[in-house]
Amino acid sequence: MAASSVASPLCTWLVAACMSVTCDRDHSTTPSLVSSPRRLSKWARRRKVSAQCSSRSPEFKMGGLIPSFCGSSIQGLMSSCLAFEPCNDYYSSNGLSSLGSNGFSSLFRSNSVATNGRRRRINRAAHSGETVAVAVQPAEEVTTKKKPFTKQRRVVVTGMGVVTPLGHDLDVFYNNLLEGVSGISEIETFDCAQFPTRIAGEIKSFSTDGWVAPKLSKRMDKFMLYMLTAGKKALADGGITEDIMNELDRTKCGVLIGSAMGGMKVFNDAIEALRISYRKMNPFCVPFATTNMGSAMLAMDLGWMGPNYSISTACATSNFCILNAANHIIRGEADVMLCGGSDAAIIPIGLGGFVACRALSQRNSDPTKASRPWDTNRDGFVMGEGSGVLLLEELEHAKKRGAKIYAEFLGGSFTCDAYHMTEPHPDGVGVKLCIEKALAQARVSKEDVNYINAHATSTPAGDIKEYKALVHCFSQNPELKLNSTKSMIGHLLGAAGAVEAVATVQAIRTGWVHPNINLENPDDNVDKNLLVGSTKERLVVKVALSNSFGFGGHNSSILFAPFK
């Protein structure tokens, strides 16, 4: 009813305005626009006015325009009418009175000054001999002020923390990588004799003492314990003391640490308890199983009120979190961000699930040789666990507090293969696009990239698809060197990208890149001169690229460089 009550006088005005530019239109259908004898009498007056206007401008023809106004939708009527103005004779009639004392101001929220201005413009046109009808005049342009150019905020790495199969101290971890030490061993946490795969990058000794409250340590899933510990180690490494913490604007400090698998152990234990009774279930099983709760608990512990959430994109999780955290800083939504990933899926259901996918290596007799990216005899990836966290900071903020700067984060990108749940695209088109977009976003030329920490997981298909994409993008760079951290620690799933980002920043910091162990017989499709050999190599890194890809076709690439 409300729409029809407005539509009737509106149609009256519309038709009069349209008829002011035509005199030879058949009017047989127009009465249908009016729903009462009173409206019909007003229509007769409009025809007189429109006849006078049309005699002045016979050249305008409306064709099938009027029928387009006659739909049942008031929105359609209003959107159509905005391009037309009635002639001055129509204003001199009492046509506007049908809309009440407020006229069109009540309908379009315009004021009387604007209406009078239009009448003056039309009157001037009439006296100057110009065509009276203004149906073809464009609507007034909406001008928007351009935002003043502001220099983009730069993002730097000022702290790092890790929990890995090769150590939980930053320097211990990277020195083990440089020495080619393998963290792959037989699984000891549970009896896995029934599984065809019985090896993993399992963390053998881990303590939360001094990092997590004992009460929480007993309740939380390991993925959260790894995350909180690595996050606080990154803060300590970044020199965020208690005094500095008190000086921070906590509304501009955020946490963005993700997980691919979440609290699998907590959830699995809840299912086992449910077999007995729901009363036996851990009341924290739901919140402690969700992937976001690690970031939330760390923020609660620190009192950080800035951006706080987690991203879960399978094995590309960490890179997604790092890039989004950097974007929060660039946009001015945060000055400091803890970001990365954490996973702890080496439990029966986790191992069994990947065995069912036929994705894991079965080289149980020689665990340290199982993970062998780009080697001819690779037979699948090796599961790992742990966490990696980077402390990202806005450059001027870092300088102001005198922070040490490890490297600069240049940018990155994401794409999707949109091809298969677990298999990479045969042509590697998604990976190529991701790398090229990352370079463009970071304003980096291909020739400047001379080190790549590849995703290479030791799977027959994945390693070669990524390698070919990298050659396609960087074949003109003779200095390029590739390695895979997974050859020593296995695949840390959602934490892989963050731990590998730490290794990448350490390569920039130290000038050494770690070896590719177990690369005994390089695949025929790879050029071994591009790959780091069996021992560490000296390299002055110009720009470093780190790739992470995940089930679902998720591709991610991020770029780091020495700070200058």
| Residues recognised as catalytic | 315, 455, 491
Contact between 431 and 468 under an 8 Å Cβ cutoff? The reply is no
Ranges assigned E (strand) in 103-222? 155-163, 185-186, 199-200
CA distance 339 to 320: 10
Question: What residues have CB less than 8 Å from 423, skipping those under 6 apart?
Answer: 461
For the chain, helix, strand, coil in percent to 5 are: 40, 15, 40
What sign does the CA torsion over 182, 183, 184, 188 have? positive
* Three-state SS letters, 206-256: CCCCCCCCHHHHHHCCHHHHHHHHHHHHHHHHCCCCHHHHHHCCHHHEEEE
Query: With 0-12 CB in 10 A as exposed, 13-18 as middle and 19+ as buried, what is 89?
Result: buried
Question: What is each CA distance from 422 to 180, 461, 550, 563, in whole angstroms?
Answer: 30, 11, 8, 37
530 touches 202 (CB < 8 A): no
CA–chain centroid gap for 187, Å, is: 35
Query: How is residue 449 written in tokens?
Result: 């990239």
